[in-house]
């Protein structure tokens, strides 16, 4: 085996590792979601509970699910739900969007939030 083949093999293995790690994150994120969020949120489109459906949340504007009565604070926040804004909001809902009505204290553990966001990216 020459070094180019070795390099190719190493790159290939590296990428497989990354995909496996992401799948792992999303799986852990799903169980965190069930514990911390599912009382108020579903990931089914059009199915709102106390909170709006989070199906396809990544990439949409805050406060944009039809038929959900958002607080003026969240609706007027101007946020778009990308990984970074989700991370801030989930860590500290009240501090990130003052006056919003999500009654959740915040997920303080960064690994939990990372897994959760990987999961939210997987629910379309």
Binding site for ligand HEC (CB under 6 A): 36-37, 39-41, 50-52, 54, 57, 62-63, 65, 70-71, 73-74, 81, 86, 89-90, 100-104, 107, 116
Minimum CB separation of residue 50 from ligand HEC in Å reads 5
* Residue 113 to residue 94: CA distance in whole angstroms: 16
Residue 14 or 98 having the CB closest to ligand HEC: 98
Residue 23 or 39 having the CB closest to ligand HEC: 39
Minimum CB separation of residue 17 from ligand HEC in Å reads 27
16 vs 20, 44, 118, 120, 121, CA distance in Å? Answer: 6, 30, 17, 21, 19
Candidates 45, 100, 92; CA nearest to 69 is 100
* Residue 31 to residue 38: CA distance in whole angstroms: 10
Minimum CB separation of residue 94 from ligand HEC in Å reads 10
């Amino acid at each position: 085996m020459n070094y180019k083949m070795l390099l190719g093999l190493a790159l290939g293995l590296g990428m497989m590792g990354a995909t496996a790690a992401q799948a792992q994150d999303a799986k852990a994120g799903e169980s965190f979601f069930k514990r911390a969020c599912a009382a108020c949120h579903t990931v089914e489109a059009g199915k709102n509970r106390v909170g709006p459906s989070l199906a396809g949340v990544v990439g949409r504007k805050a406060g944009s699910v039809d038929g959900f009565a958002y607080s003026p604070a969240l609706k007027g926040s101007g946020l778009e739900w990308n990984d970074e804004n989700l991370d801030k909001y989930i860590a500290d809902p009240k501090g990130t969007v003052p006056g919003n009505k999500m009654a959740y204290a915040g997920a303080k553990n960064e690994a939990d939030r990372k897994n959760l966001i990987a999961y939210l990216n997987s629910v379309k």
